[in-house]
Amino acid sequence: MPITKQPSDVDYINYLIAARCDVSCVKVADCYSTSEFSISHDTFNRFLTRQSLTPETLWAEVEAYVDRKRGWLVLGDTILDKKHSKKIECTYYQWSGKEHKVIKGIGLITLIWTDGITSFPIDYRIYDKDVDDKTKNDHLQEMALTAFKRGFTPAFVMFDSWYSGNENLKLINRLGWFYFTRVKKNRMVNPDAQGNVQVSSLNIPEEGLEVHLKKYGFIRLFHSLNRKGVSRYWATNFLPMNNEDRLVLQSICWTIENYHRAIKELCGVEKCQARKGIIQRNH
């Protein structure tokens, strides 16, 4: 008769790496049922429910591999697709960049450290406004302050236009960091002390343009085109930045996209079918 075994973190991680299907306690239990030992689906369910896995748990795993005195910090979010679910907790209707529409899913916000060659996630948050009453901007500010307290002094911190509000920019300034961020085309700036205009109305040279951002202060503004020829606008508080610097940072911004794509395709991060929010978080 097979011996009943208690699951470990490694057991579940190995299953996630190997699995190419939707993730459930029943399926993971099937994978660990042999003639020598077995782990029931109820055991896996209890294991995932009782685990106390937090962002601090992640930091304990990666702390030894990052250099807090160099490199870049990149923040971004992604939606873990749950559009066909009806009872999974901590799901909300949110904009999906992949689907180009609002879908139902779990919002994952991640802060990554990279030196341009290797990358490690150092912090994350689950967007669950009905539980913690926090916005995505609140989560950015929390993670930035945590990184500062941990001794990070990044060359730049980078994030998307969603997080480029004045309060976030002012916080980065107070921490003594430089930022590089996308800004929306309707942000109001004053390029010549003659009044505020939308950034989309400006003729921005390749080397950038120093302007005054409304209710904030001076920034350097850059313009680029994506593959479809759509204009994108970038801003930084590092006023001496040139176009070569901008191109380097713009490429580093993709680190967060690559990370989120990898954990979806290789680790099954959005395949968990459990209804309980705690299991979704621990998964």
Between 3.90.350.10, 3.40.50.300, 3.30.428.10, 3.90.1150.10, what CATH number should domain 55-265 receive?
A: 3.90.350.10
Specify the pLDDT at position 98. Answer: 77
Which residues belong to CATH 3.90.350.10 in the chain? 55-265
Distance of CA 277 to the CA centre of its chain: 19
Specify the pLDDT at position 65. Answer: 97
The whole-model pTM stands at 0.89
pLDDT, tens digit, for every residue of 6-27?
Answer: 767 777 777 777 776 666 666 6
Spatial separation of the C-alpha atoms in residues 74 and 88, rounded to whole Å: 29
Specify the pLDDT at position 41. Answer: 64
Tokens of residue 207, six digits: 């080397």
Spatial separation of the C-alpha atoms in residues 90 and 87, rounded to whole Å: 9
Specify the pLDDT at position 35. Answer: 44
Residues of the chain with confidence (pLDDT) below 70 = 1-5, 7, 20-42, 44, 283
* Parallel, antiparallel or unpaired: strands 157-159 and 179-183: parallel
Specify the pLDDT at position 102. Answer: 85
Bridge partners of residue 79, in order along the sequence: 107
Specify the pLDDT at position 250. Answer: 95
Specify the pLDDT at position 224. Answer: 94
**Secondary structure in 3-state letters for the chain:** CCEECCCCHHHHHHHHHHCCCCECHHHHHHHCCCCCEECCHHHHHHHHHHCCCCHHHHHHHHHHHCCCCCCEEEEEEEEEECCCCCCCCCCEEEEECCCCEEEEEEEEEEEEEECCCCEEEEEEEEECHHHHCCCHHHHHHHHHHHHHHCCCCCCCEEECHHHCCHHHHHHHHHCCCCEEEEECCCCEEECCCCCCEEHHHCCCCCCCEEEEECCCEEEEEEEEECCCCCEEEEEECCCCCCHHHHHHHHHHCHHHHHHHHHHHHCCCCCCECCCCHHHHHHC
Among all chains, which residue has been given the structure tokens 């700036």? 189
Specify the pLDDT at position 20. Answer: 66
Answer for the pair 209, 220: CB distance below 8 angstroms, yes or no.
Answer: yes
pLDDT, tens digit, for every residue of 225-275?
Answer: 988 889 999 999 999 999 999 999 999 999 999 999 998 888 888 877 778
